[in-house]
Amino acid sequence: MFSTTRILKLHLEQLNPDGQFPLIVTLHEEYASALSRAC
């Protein structure tokens, strides 16, 4: 099974290679953890 968190994190890194949006990453972490709880 693919790690959704890993895939989305890699996608975010592609969108934002300089890491200038830590808030988006934080929101993504919360979203990913919510998804993992829902599964």
3-state DSSP of the chain = CCCHHHHHHHHHHHHCCCCCCHHHHHHHHHHHHHHHHHC
Q: What is the pLDDT of residue 20?
A: 61
Do residues 4 and 32 make contact, with C-beta atoms less than 8 angstroms apart?
yes
What does pTM read for this prediction?
0.34
d(CA 25, CA 4): 14
Span 1-36, pLDDT tens digits: 467 778 777 776 776 666 566 667 777 788 888 888
The count of C-alpha atoms lying within 13 angstroms of the C-alpha of 20, restricted to the half-sphere facing its C-beta, is 4
